[in-house]
Amino acid sequence: MEVVRSLAGSSVAALAAVLLLSAGCGGGDEKAAETGVAPAGGAKVFADANCGGCHTLQAADASGTVGPNLDEVRPNVDRVERQVRKGGGSMPAFEDKLSDDQIREVSEFVATSAGSGEGESKKFTFEPDDKKIDDCNGDTQCIQQAFGNLASEDGPKAALTKLDEMQKTDSTIQSNCHPIAHMIGAGGLRHFDGNVGKAFVAGSATCGSGYYHGLLQWKLAGVEEDKAAEVARTACDDPEIKSNNFNYYQCQHGLGHGLMLYTGYELPIALTMCHGLSGEFEQVSCSGGVFMENLSSSFGLKTRWIRKDNLLYPCNIVSRQDKLYCYLLVSSRILPEVGWRWEKAADWCRKSEKDFVDICFQSYGRDASGTATQNPRQAKGYCARAGNGERECIFGAARDIMNNNSQDVRGGQFCSIVKRAHRSYCFFGLGTILGTQNADPAGKREACSKFARGRDLADCIDGATT
């Protein structure tokens, strides 16, 4: 209870934001185009070292798919250099195979050409071509580019609407929906001449908010390392974005996703950049994006920051200030890995660091509600499998129902069917979310009275005012 009371205090708004994550993230795959021969300089090194056997880079006519698509990642010089020298993942180190000059050349080549097919000046923008969606014949690379083209020409709204329509009937588009939405972000940013604010308000959260993530990803693409923190700090500081809470949250959250892609899944660096943001809400929304990108990569990239042998990782090693938000998502890492065996997931939660066992079970409750698509009986059933974590599961589930839709009467229904011993805490949980949405006492009381009466109402109001 202690942790919960403190949780329900100052950071409630931030928590509410972080909980929105359950609906806000997705994954996907990508493929490549045509091969050819590369010209001189860094491009020659790129060809000779056979980087293209593993990477896609349009400027080098390379279409490898073993490693990340460099046009998509758009790493800066320092990052390419570091990676080429040391290797990592399944990429070999080139330190002993290439001279310092060659390494420098190839790094500059990749950094300046990635994502553009051209030189320095085009670094921040998406390059449209004449590809059309209808002519792509299921080629996912082509489809992404074509959606980017549409967004660049007619604006993101047109492209997102089309994506929404097509994903209902086209399975290729459906399974690539998130990366396509990222590309619409790229095209949308170009449509608005790099103005994130304008591009933001013209977008939508379709396909796990991929568009918002893409906007931030492309805003950061190619930015030099020493300028990245500043770009991050100012990216969402725009009156148009700030005038709408949802957009502002999406922007900071998308920034977290973007920072992970920018740093090449260097989780600690990305988190440090989130810590540099102006306030708690900003920092928390951002680090939520970082953790979510870590759990389900937008591009199927491999992260070093998850482990098969410890499903609580990286929550158990991140700094204290990041633990809360990491543990609030951790069950989404655990459950798929244990085959959705809820009892097993509960065992993992019990292995959490002492102060965070309850938080893990709240995350478990969020997933219980999410998996049950907010069905009270089903969610209750999952919570019953949490053993001694049932109470926190119920709290997490109640909050998820409200978070998903603050008018959903199933919130009250859920709390009315849980074990008597947990009822009060459940209504308290409903209140914690309603409290973030209603500033004044009268509003809080009114919101709670839609779900509860008598003792339950008092508990809900109690939650709304902590």
- Which residues would be at the binding site for ligand HEC (CB under 6 A)? 46, 49-51, 53-55, 66-68, 73, 75, 79-80, 83-84, 88-92, 94, 106, 110, 264, 302
Closest to ligand HEC by CB, 217 or 250: 217
**Cβ closer to ligand HEC: 92 or 279?**
92
Identify which of residues 300 and 441 has a Cβ nearer to ligand HEC in the complex.
300
Q: How far apart are CA 191 and CA 218, in angstroms?
A: 13
Instruction: Please answer whether residues 191 and 156 qualify as being in contact, where contact means their C-beta atoms are separated by less than 8 angstroms.
Output: yes
Asked whether 325 and 287 are in contact (CB, 8 A), the reply is: yes
- Smallest gap from residue 67 Cβ to ligand HEC (A): 3
Cβ 453 to ligand HEC shortest distance, Å: 55
Cα three-residue angle 322-324-329, rounded to 5 degrees: 100
The smaller minimum CB distance to ligand HEC, of residues 82 and 445, is found at: 82
Provide, rounded to whole angstroms, the least separation between the CB of residue 39 and ligand HEC: 16
Q: Please identify, using beta-carbon distances, which residue of 120 and 129 lies nearer to ligand HEC.
A: 120
Give the Cα separation of 53 and 395 in Å (integer).
50
Burial of 55-94, coded b for 16+ CB within 10 Å and e otherwise, reads: bbbbbbbbbbeebbbbbbbbbbbebbbebbbeeeeebeeb
From the CB of residue 420, how many other CB atoms can be counted at a distance below 10 Å? 6
Please state the closest distance from residue 82 (CB atom) to ligand HEC, in A.
8
Query: Token digits for 212?
Result: 């918002």
Question: Among 255, 259, 279, 281, which residue's Cα sits nearest to residue 268?
Answer: 259
Shortest separation between residue 221's beta carbon and ligand HEC, angstroms: 12
Q: Which is nearer to ligand HEC, 84 or 267 (CB)?
A: 84
Least distance in Å: CB of 391 to ligand HEC? 40
- The torsion of the CA quartet 393, 395, 401, 403, rounded to 10 degrees, works out to -120
